[in-house]
Structure 1
Amino acid sequence: MAVLLSPEIPVGRPARFGCDEDATTPAGAATRRPIVGSVHSWDLSTGVDGPGTRFVTFLSGCPLTCLYCHNPDTWRMRNGKRTTADDVVAEAAKYTTFIRAAGGGATVSGGEPLLQPVFAGELLHRYKHDLGLHTALDTSGFLGTRATDALLRDVDLVLLDIKSWDGETYQKVTGRPLQPTLDFAHRLADLGKEVHVRFVLVPGLTDDPANIDGVASFAASLGNVSRVDVLPFHKLGESKWQALDMNFTLHDTPSPTPAALTAAREIFTSHGLNAV
């Protein structure tokens, strides 16, 4: 994984989503300020970041504090590198031929990208319209009200984390209430926006069959969920918690067995969903 370093801030083209503009600059002038955001890193990825090989931009900052987060170093925006959208898009442009050949695209992830909606929106717009790439937004939905209709028009796919159906469990896992995520999911359904739901199976925490069935029933009711990723809990991020002097409370929690993963996926498929 490579971290974007920007030793200087070049002047970019006028930003479609920007509010960080010089109010005294004449319309159409080339001296408007570029859109700047806090970037943790970028990577080329295949797997659960959307279809095909993807250029994934990880933005810094997240309002959730998930117990199993494998990147707690993304929680604080100040820990990222201030980077222009111009720099990020120029980096992505190096891989567009390969990405298109691999049936992929570009994903804006985090952290929580909607903590920086102007920056995230600019990236999505330019990935889609300047580079011609399929776009995905990876979000918990907690800050869904920050996603403008203009931002969502530039999103081909939303990767929506629904971490639990039981509200008390969701609060325990994330430190936040569930309802904003459900509200955002309904909004995406109303817009007909394609969604992949992602659910992390954590033994003793989210693996109650009734809890899984609640997520499955809700996802099936939306009508726009084309896939559900049932992801096994793992402890690959524990070393980051230790490096940050944070207590990883799931230290003794095992990963789910293959049988448990199969059983969870079967609950989703019983609702007519494509679960993998």
Structure 2
Amino acid sequence: MPLLLGQNPAAPATLNPAASASLNPAASATLAAATPAAAATRHPVEGSVHSWDLSTGVDGPGTRFVTFLSGCPLTCLYCQNPDTWRIRDGRRTAADDIVAEAAKYTGFIAAAGGGATLSGGEPLLQPVFAGELLHRFKHEVGLHTALDTSGFLGSRATDSLLRDVDLVLLDIKSWNRETYKKVTGRPLEPTLDFARRLARLGKDVWVRFVLVPGLTDDPANIEGVAAFAASLGNVSRVDVLPFHKLGASKWRELGRTFPLHDTPSPVPEQVASARRIFEAKGLRAV
């Protein structure tokens, strides 16, 4: 899934120093005062975290506090953060610490119409940890919540977890089953099943589609994704994301060959053409 360039997982999971200038002391103090009593009544929930950061315009509406969880069942050919694939490479982190960090930025985030997003990796590989974070972001910190997922592990998302999700960023990487398997190493159907479930629940969804020349750019393939998204009735936006090679260096650092090193990025007209296919189905494409 499309990701920000995160920290080295060997380093402690923290925000970069430049972001610390936007701290909200009142929110931080409120959360800190509540934490000891809460900790005394429950065991801390921990998970494997790659990094967290602030982003704007990529991971949901407004400015977002984005937590990147480690571990992913897919091996996407164009993944820009392959260093998130293995759950054991992440930093063991308590939910308390992440929630406390997010609380520092509530004033800044609220002013920008943003919220908190769980990304990865694949957040649903750690459903208990993901559910804890989503619940506390929403009810304790008061943030709009988003879940960025491939949907492949959608069956692990309980109804309780989904009740704490305001928006799902759902990556549908291809409509053609063979292409989907080639891109991800996994079958498409679990993602479609999850999309249908989200529609039954009336959950707001942004579909994300990566346009890769020679791989996912066939008009019939785009038409298939568009028709399916339009049939759901709960897709409020489609992000057509042009393929790029910004993560190629990470593949090299891991001793891997970037599979699409010879693939060009799509030209603007190719991106515009793909967006028109989605718009022709009545969808808002950006």
Q: Which of 199, 204, 222 does residue 189 from structure 1 map onto?
A: 199
1:237 aligned to 2:247?
Answer: yes
Return the alpha-carbon distance in structure 2 between the equivalents of residues 223 and 178 of structure 1.
20
Return the alpha-carbon distance in structure 2 between the equivalents of residues 103 and 43 of structure 1.
17
Q: Deviations over 1:226-253 (max 9, x none)?
A: 0000000000000000000012110010
- Deviation of residue 33 (structure 1)? 1.9
Q: Which of 86, 93, 100 does residue 90 from structure 1 map onto?
A: 100
- Deviation of residue 13 (structure 1)? 2.8
Residue equivalent to 2:171: 161
Return the alpha-carbon distance in structure 2 between the equivalents of residues 31 and 137 of structure 1.
28
TM-score (norm 2): 0.88
What 5-or-longer segments of structure 1 have no aligned partner?
15-29
Output aligned runs, 1:206-217, within 5 Å: 206-217=216-227
Return the alpha-carbon distance in structure 1 between the equivalents of residues 123 and 201 of structure 2.
20
Q: Is the 8 A contact 1:124 1:155 kept in 2?
A: yes
TM-score (norm 1): 0.91
Q: Deviations over 1:162-185 (max 9, x none)?
A: 000000000000000000000000
| Other structure's SS at 1:13 match | helix
Residue equivalent to 1:73: 83
Considering only aligned residues, what root-mean-square deviation do their CA atoms show, in Å? 1.3
Q: Deviations over 1:205-243 (max 9, x none)?
A: 000000000000000000000000000000000000000
Q: Which amino acid counterpart does residue 250 of structure 1 have in structure 2?
A: L
Residue equivalent to 2:153: 143
Q: Which of 13, 20, 27 does residue 4 from structure 1 map onto?
A: 13
Q: Which runs of 4+ in 1 moved over 4 A?
A: none
Residue equivalent to 2:260: 250
Return the alpha-carbon distance in structure 1 between the equivalents of residues 36 and 270 of structure 2.
52
Q: Is the 8 A contact 1:12 1:33 kept in 2?
A: no
What 5-or-longer segments of structure 2 have no aligned partner?
1-5, 15-34
| Other structure's SS at 2:238 match | strand
Name the % identity: 79
Cα 1:65/1:228, change in 2 over 3 Å: same
Q: 1 or 2, which has the higher helix percentage?
A: 2
Q: Is the 8 A contact 1:138 1:159 kept in 2?
A: yes
Aligned residues: 257
